[in-house]
Amino acid sequence: MSNQTKTTKVGDASGRGSVAGYRVNFPARMRTYTEAEIEAVVNVMRNAEVQTQGNYMRQFEADFKAYIGAKHAFALDNCTNALRLASILCRIGPGDEVIAPGYTFCASAIPFGATGATLVWADIDPQTWVVDPQDIEKKITPRTKVLLVVHLLGMPVNMPAVMEIAQKYNLRVVEDCAQAPGASINGKKVGSFGDFGCFSLHGAKNITTLGEGGVLTVNSDADAALTPGLRHNGVRPFSGDRDRYWVPAMSNVDMDMEGIWPNNFSIGEAQCALGSELLKTLDESNDKIIAQAAKLRAALANIPEITFAKIPDGYRPIFHQFVLHFNGSAFGKNRNDLLDFLTEEAGVRAIVQYYPLYRYPLFQRLGMAEQNCPVLEDWWDNSFSLPWWIGMPDETLDYLVDSVKAGISALKER
């Protein structure tokens, strides 16, 4: 392998999008839009007078709340800001601790770190590969205020166990559901268990509202009452009946939480109209990707070097990504050797998602490099993602299977 080959194949920072030289790329989006979805956007462009915070937003919030089974839902510009609102509403700051998964996308943790609280990293469950409630409980101290859990890769965290711990220690629970809209445990959807659920409608997610979007679900009426002002510059109507609608002015501006400046985290009407349309087929598209994952798992099931996350009874993971764990220690090879084969010889743009957060300079500079996540350390060094999207053709699935098998056979010979 020459340096030339490697440098010309470098894609964007996430590894997504078409990169010349690959037979199977890692796509930048999970699926294409249907005509009904395109029509929903065009209809707002053509006909809606109000372009933001109008009836489409209210409808989308009602649809989302009903779909998730949460008490309240607020449409936002992205999930990072849903997490930011949740972190504000948790009323935390310097001296407090938030237990967060050591492994997730950085946006899960950044809003909590930004409050001045300290992030304490929890390990993953060796079976399901998402944050482990037992490790969370071990890391609780008198300073702990919030448990942040992430249903990463579409796999639900064991929420009944997390909620029991939260009750025992009187802690607030934030669910990062960015990668798991529609995932559930015994029929109860993620985002309806904790105090807050934070959803992403970013361009790479299973459903997207034109590249950016998010939703915050809120389970207490008191928190929900504070959210609209925090979301939109503290704006609200002047109270009471007014003889003249312009006196003293059109709207009032106030502070919902003492000492907290409001923000503008609003999302436009066209995105909300699209969001409502996307919810209509979300279960169907989740069924499709679940079936696709089952097929790929079955085809790779008899390879002793490959393992997958275990799906506990009653769990419905929605496979935002297709992740494999490779153990080539019996013949002295590792994950990077297999990826060299897949990328350079099979033309399969496999990727390694994220980095354990405590290894990133951002968290290290802020004094949060300390970790005690032995399961994650081993798992991360040996895991990778295959190219993945909803509606992958059978011949592509077959090619991925053949490539993984050929890679392992080749590594055994070398």
Between 103 and 399, whose beta carbon lies closer to ligand PLP? 103
Between 198 and 293, whose beta carbon lies closer to ligand PLP? 198
Q: Give whole-number Cα distances, 185 to 130, 151, 169, 289, in Å.
A: 14, 11, 23, 17
Between 213 and 387, whose beta carbon lies closer to ligand PLP? 213
Between 231 and 333, whose beta carbon lies closer to ligand PLP? 231
Interacting residues with ligand PLP (CB under 6 A) = 78-80, 104-105, 107-108, 150, 152, 176, 178-179, 200, 202, 214
Nearest to 103 by CA among 391, 393, 381: 381
Q: How far is the CB of 154 from ligand PLP (least distance, A)?
A: 10
Between 78 and 292, whose beta carbon lies closer to ligand PLP? 78
What is the C-alpha to C-alpha distance for residues 100 and 149, in angstroms, rounded to an integer?
6
Q: How far is the CB of 282 from ligand PLP (least distance, A)?
A: 16
Q: How far is the CB of 262 from ligand PLP (least distance, A)?
A: 19
State the alpha helices, DSSP H only, in 170-263: 221-231
The residues near 384 (Cβ < 8 Å, ≥ 6 apart) are 323, 324, 326, 335, 338, 339, 350, 351, 352
Q: How far is the CB of 179 from ligand PLP (least distance, A)?
A: 5
Between 217 and 403, whose beta carbon lies closer to ligand PLP? 217
Q: How far is the CB of 246 from ligand PLP (least distance, A)?
A: 38
What is the C-alpha to C-alpha distance for residues 255 and 13, in angstroms, rounded to an integer?
38
What is the C-alpha to C-alpha distance for residues 180 and 158, in angstroms, rounded to an integer?
14
Q: Quick one: angle between helices 106-113 and 79-89, nearest 10?
A: 30
* Amino acid making up residue 398: D
Q: How far is the CB of 143 from ligand PLP (least distance, A)?
A: 24
What is the C-alpha to C-alpha distance for residues 59 and 337, in angstroms, rounded to an integer?
50
